[in-house]
Amino acid sequence: MLYPMPKKIQFAPSQAKWQLSSTQSVLVLVGLQNLRLMQGIQDSVLMQNLIQISNKAKALDIPIVDLYGDDLIQGMQQLGEYASTHPQLIFAGTITSMLKQILPHLQSVTEQICVIDDAILLSNQEQHIQWIDNISAQGLHHMNSYSLTRLWNLSAPAEYVLSSKGIMLAVAEQLDMDVLDIDPHVDLRQCGLDSIAVVSLVGV
């Protein structure tokens, strides 16, 4: 059931002290398949935030792991493989009872776990706020999608920003397209690259 996304001031401040880095992050999307089937989800703030952080992860070559029901074990194995090189686990999506059970186990592998507090879904807004406050008290990090993408941008290696590849990835992110789908001979304005998107790109 969708509900209004809580505001930043409604959450207890994060107590975590570690610094988020794009080169050490893995984006973990939980239950995305089921989320997409929900009525009204496509126009929701939640889906906009999920798309935003997913596109940013793709643009910066940050690994993305999908965790959902039947493939949970495979997803956990993938997380285990990344743990040595990418110890920062960034969670978004549906907060299931299964995820709540495995988070303490993941904390024994890495202390660098962050939940994107405006890109998750629980049963209702009250539980949403309460759960973020609880994990914050347990030492888990949380931040909103704007802060995440900003910190990823600031910590991205120069080659992702100041190179042909970086520019193409950034353009693809703005257009919500795959890089391989961009035809270099087609005017990007036909694909929806407007002045607002260009200003955003210059900011990157």
Query: Residue 7 and residue 112: Cα distance in Å, rounded?
Result: 24
Q: pLDDT value at position 202?
A: 46
The answer to whether residues 46 and 38 touch, using CB atoms and an 8 Å cutoff, is no
Q: How would residue 168 be classed by pLDDT, with cut points 50, 70 and 90?
A: low
Can you tell me whether residue 4 is helix, strand or coil? coil
Q: Which CATH superfamily is domain 14-155 in?
A: Isochorismatase-like (3.40.50.850)
Q: What is the pLDDT of residue 19?
A: 93
Q: How confident is the model at residue 167 (pLDDT cuts 50, 70, 90)?
A: low
Q: How far apart are CA 176 and CA 194, in angstroms?
A: 13
Enumerate residues 6+ apart whose C-beta is below 8 A from 41.
Answer: 2, 35, 47
Q: Is 177 helix (H, G, I), strand (E, B) or coil?
A: coil
Domain positions in the chain are 14-155, 163-202
Q: What is the mean pLDDT of residues 88-112?
A: 89
- Determine contact, residues 188/171, Cβ cutoff 8 Å: yes
pLDDT(68) > 90:
no
**Could you report the per-residue pLDDT of 140-164, keeping only the tens digit for each?**
999 999 999 989 988 888 766 655 5
Mean pLDDT of all residues in 109-120: 95
Query: Region 64-86: what's the mean pLDDT?
Result: 78
pTM: 0.79
